[in-house]
């Protein structure tokens, strides 16, 4: 009797659970009495227990689309980057080119802000359109403000981002790839509704790239993504409509990614330079809170003297790294004037070599200082040369670089092999060569009013002394 009553209570509880919490009963696979169970309970026997239903077989996972995998790798490459540089060119085709004719081209420098997830950026180049003759731009996108050069007003402006406007500012933005700056790169390309067509690989800027046509909603974009470094090389937004058709294209060449933390790039490199004779229109700097003077410890039981304060600590002066002395590798290059310059011809002289090219953004600020160094060292017999590397249109670019700045330092052509022989890893890099053909000093990168001061000091020291480690006995 007790067994029969317990079974009846259990059955009623199961029925109540099925009515009040049917989902729970289904999840736990509790059996619901059938007709045989009811009949068994009426005659006092134990109702049969039904076996739980067999679990449904899980559907096999769909293989990841090859196109989606390409963008996943590209997103990971961008998220690892701490700084990026490239040369960008924006233009349009089809009726889009007929309507606007906008062309923007220049050098981009990007760096993650040390104060958050945003990117800082700077673009230097030229732009034009059907209605606007070609002009130069220099624009910097910062944390909360933007700054740019207004050549018409001969002024450098810095404004909050919502107040930034003007042709220079807007057309410089054409060569800024937003997916490099977005906290969620390629969000459209990796959307669940996106479809991919992986095309045949292509060669672009000397790199083998995957070509992927992506459709997300009504947006169709073709991307070139490097197969080795997974960085974007080209973006072509395709428009097909009755009113207008064609493409809006952004090409990225000479792209480099720096994954070092912190990167070699500095915030100072992203600030707009103020051209000579231009004024500045910037928001006033925030007030600096006064710092209370430090009071020295007073022996126990003694009252501190009113005039007893610690002197201000002496400023810390960073000492430049001691250069590794090594012999200049054999080389011979030709200058723009036809002069042959070699390691042998420089023996007995002190020389300064600058490795870079017109594509190298820091040289826009460095060359005016290098010209000052050239003029200062000329009377001391020091030869100064710019060694040109990775230049695509050397004749036109170098002529413009030297002509526009009215520079008098020598320019040596086709220096790529020489740069490799010197072990140059960063541009610009400056090498000071002494009379014995040894590298007396090396400065990699450029910091305004700092780098070329050190180069000049090293060259002046080499004029009156042999390189460290080289004996001058008997001379």
Q: Is the pLDDT of residue 76 over 90?
A: yes
Q: Are 208 and 200 in contact (CB under 8 A)?
A: no
Q: What is the pTM of this model?
A: 0.52
Please state, rounded to an integer, the average pLDDT across all residues of the chain.
79
3-state secondary structure of 163: helix
Q: pLDDT tens digits for 226-267?
A: 999 999 999 999 987 666 678 999 999 999 999 998 898 988
Q: Was domain 326-464 assigned CATH 3.40.30.10?
A: yes
Confidence of residue 46 (pLDDT cuts 50, 70, 90): low
Mean pLDDT over residues 402-425, rounded?
86
Q: What's the N-to-C CA distance of the chain in angstroms? A: 123
Percentage of residues of the chain with pLDDT beyond 90: 44
Q: What are the two backbone dihedrals, phi and then psi, of residue 145, each rounded to the nearest 5 degrees? A: -130, 165
Question: Within the chain, which residue ranges are assigned CATH 3.40.30.10?
Answer: 326-464
Q: Is the pLDDT of residue 473 over 80?
A: no
Can you tell me the distance from the alpha carbon of 197 to that of 223, in angstroms, rounded to the nearest whole number? 11
Question: Within the chain, which residue ranges are assigned CATH 2.50.20.10?
Answer: 66-258
pLDDT of residue 123: 95
Can you tell me the distance from the alpha carbon of 86 to that of 431, in angstroms, rounded to the nearest whole number? 25
Q: Is the pLDDT of residue 103 over 80?
A: yes
| Nearest of 371, 435, 451, 446 to residue 404 by alpha carbon | 371
Q: What are the two backbone dihedrals, phi and then psi, of residue 163, each rounded to the nearest 5 degrees? A: -105, 5
pLDDT of residue 194: 82
Q: pLDDT tens digits for 190-236?
A: 887 789 999 999 999 999 999 999 987 677 899 999 999 999 999 99
Q: Is the pLDDT of residue 355 over 70?
A: yes
Of the listed ranges 18-22, 107-111, 396-400, the one predicted with least confidence:
18-22
| The pair of three-digit structure tokens given for residue 99, joined into one six-digit string | 């309507």
> Parallel, antiparallel, or unpaired: how do β-strands 155-160 and 279-281 relate?
parallel
Alpha helices per DSSP H over 266-362? 343-346
Q: What are the two backbone dihedrals, phi and then psi, of residue 389, each rounded to the nearest 5 degrees? A: -135, 155
pLDDT of residue 433: 95
Q: Are 85 and 256 in contact (CB under 8 A)?
A: yes
Beta-carbon contacts of residue 354 (< 8 Å; ≥ 6 apart): 363, 366, 370, 384, 385, 386, 387, 409, 428, 429, 430
Superfamily the domain 66-258 falls into: Lipoprotein localisation LolA/LolB/LppX (2.50.20.10)
């Amino acid at each position: 009797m007790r067994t029969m009553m317990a079974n009846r209570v259990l059955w009623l509880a199961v029925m109540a659970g099925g009515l009040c919490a049917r989902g729970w009963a289904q999840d736990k696979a509790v059996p619901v009495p059938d007709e045989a169970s009811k009949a068994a309970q009426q005659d006092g026997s134990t109702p049969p227990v039904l076996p739980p239903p067999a679990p449904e077989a899980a559907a096999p996972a769909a293989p990841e689309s090859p196109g989606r995998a390409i963008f996943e790798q590209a997103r990971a490459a961008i998220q690892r980057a701490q700084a990026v540089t490239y040369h960008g060119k924006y233009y349009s085709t089809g009726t889009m080119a007929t309507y606007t004719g906008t062309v923007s081209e220049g050098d981009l420098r990007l760096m993650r802000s040390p104060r958050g997830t945003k990117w800082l950026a700077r673009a230097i180049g030229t732009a034009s359109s059907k209605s606007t003759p070609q002009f130069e731009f220099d624009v910097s996108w910062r944390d909360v403000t933007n700054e740019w050069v207004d050549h018409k007003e001969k002024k450098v402006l810095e404004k909050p981002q919502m107040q930034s406007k003007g042709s220079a500012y807007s057309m410089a933005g054409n060569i800024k790839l937003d997916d490099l700056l977005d906290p969620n790169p390629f969000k459209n390309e990796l959307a669940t509704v996106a479809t991919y067509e992986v095309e045949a690989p292509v060669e672009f800027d000397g790199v083998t790239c995957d070509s992927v046509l992506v459709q997300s909603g009504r947006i169709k974009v073709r991307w070139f993504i490097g197969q080795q470094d997974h960085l974007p090389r080209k973006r072509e937004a395709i428009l097909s409509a009755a009113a207008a058709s064609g493409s809006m294209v952004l090409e990225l060449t000479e792209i480099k990614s720096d994954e070092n933390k912190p990167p070699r790039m500095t915030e100072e490199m992203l600030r707009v330079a103020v051209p000579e004779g231009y004024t500045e229109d910037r928001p006033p700097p925030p007030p600096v809170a006064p710092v209370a003077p430090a009071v020295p410890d007073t022996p126990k039981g003694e009252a501190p003297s009113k005039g007893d304060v610690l002197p201000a600590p002496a400023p810390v002066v960073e000492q430049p790294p001691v250069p590794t002395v090594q012999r200049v590798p054999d080389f011979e290059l030709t200058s723009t004037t036809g002069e042959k310059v070699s390691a042998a011809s420089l023996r007995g002289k002190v020389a300064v070599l600058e490795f870079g090219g017109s594509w190298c953004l820091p040289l826009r600020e460095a060359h005016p200082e290098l010209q000052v160094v050239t003029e200062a060292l000329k009377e001391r017999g020091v030869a100064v040369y710019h060694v040109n590397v990775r230049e695509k249109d050397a004749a036109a670019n170098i002529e413009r670089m030297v002509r526009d700045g009215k520079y008098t330092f020598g320019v040596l052509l086709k220096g790529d092999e020489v740069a490799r022989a010197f072990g140059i890893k960063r541009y610009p890099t400056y090498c000071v060569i002494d009379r014995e053909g040894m590298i007396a000093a090396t400065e990699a990168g450029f910091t305004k009013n700092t780098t070329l001061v050190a180069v000049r000091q090293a060259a002046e020291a080499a004029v009156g002394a042999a390189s460290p480690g080289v004996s001058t006995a008997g001379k």
